[in-house]
Structure 1
């Protein structure tokens, strides 16, 4: 199973100029790129699409006890991503980055494979061709 330590914060809290990883705010601002990063580096080592799906979808759903998620089957919520696994792109300042502090992504300057075209949450289109839906349609999955 894979997980993300998506932890966006103000660039000054990352202490980039100090170079001390142990003092810097943890996590990286790159949630938008977990699928392309996993696919880009994984396929170099023979990772299959089925493995990626299991790591990011099936296993986390099972661990969290989210029985309505984790598979494309009758009775499950339609959380889907439409993507082009062979499409490549350079992650640079020209690429649209959709998080608060785009200048501090750990993947800037990398060539990645797997362009996300659109995303659906519970069957609702929430992202397509660089544009996000105006209204949120998610729901609380785990109570604190």
Structure 2
């Protein structure tokens, strides 16, 4: 398995970050919890952490162990480990991660759901396999 940076999708990452920041400013009333379920190099998560000041927690995940190593290196190179948000890097299948997040939100010790406000699904192919799990994991407004 390889890890790549898709330079052609730079404008997509710009628009995604702008959408997250607009959602946060206009609709959101709490700190953001974000899931980057197929993070590859982690570039999108790093940009979100640098651009958006209201991130409480971010899950940066990829099933590829090489990608997870690269995510950790990129977080370190960009000084992100000093960010006030709780950063959780993991190597899990996306639907497993979604299921885990949904389950943990119902068993949290403070009885307050900790479901994410934003979930990014960026597979190589169709996202259809991940939509159901993402909807179960995301915060309902």
Task: Specify the TM-score bucket, using the shorter chain as the normaliser.
Answer: under 0.3
Q: Which structure: greater strand fraction?
A: 1
Q: Which structure: greater helix fraction?
A: 2
TM-score (norm 1): 0.27
TM-score (norm 2): 0.28
Larger radius of gyration: 1
